[in-house]
Amino acid sequence: MRSAVLGLSLVVCLVSVFAWLDSPPTPAQAQTPYAAMPSGSLISHSTNTVAGMQQVVLIDPQTRVMGVYHVDGTTGKISLRSVRNLHWDLLLEAHNSTNPSPSEIKASLGRP
């Protein structure tokens, strides 16, 4: 159960990050375009797990790939847990969502 909550929290965090990356810039952001981000910049997020591990998530916004690592708090051993290309995930309109779905909301607003 705890791993499901942690996984769900991670997904929510990642969706927020990618929604922010895909959102139109505000006037303040328009002065500093996304292209100004240094080449090779990574987004990172770190949390401590219940099992005493540190979980580190690295996201490459240019390639839209994320990697998840676990760092053992006792030994310092780093384990790659998963890598995923998010391109196709981010093209989904909905996944594991509840009613009303995005298309139902769109239809109720009378939008094509």
Given a cut of 60, is residue 11 above it in pLDDT? no
What pLDDT score does 101 carry? Answer: 85
pTM above 0.85, yes or no: no
Parallel, antiparallel or unpaired: strands 78-85 and 65-72: antiparallel
Q: What is the pLDDT of residues 30-58, one digit of tens each?
A: 444 444 445 568 999 999 998 889 999 99
Q: How many CB atoms lie under 10 A from the CB of residue 10?
A: 16
Assigned token pair, 26:
């505000």
Q: Residue type at 16?
A: S
- Within a 10 A sphere around the Cβ of 110, how many other Cβ atoms? 6
Place of tokens 């909301």: 105
Q: What percent of the chain is helix, strand and coil (3-state, nearest 5)? A: 35, 25, 40
Quote the percentage of the chain above a pLDDT of 90. Answer: 39
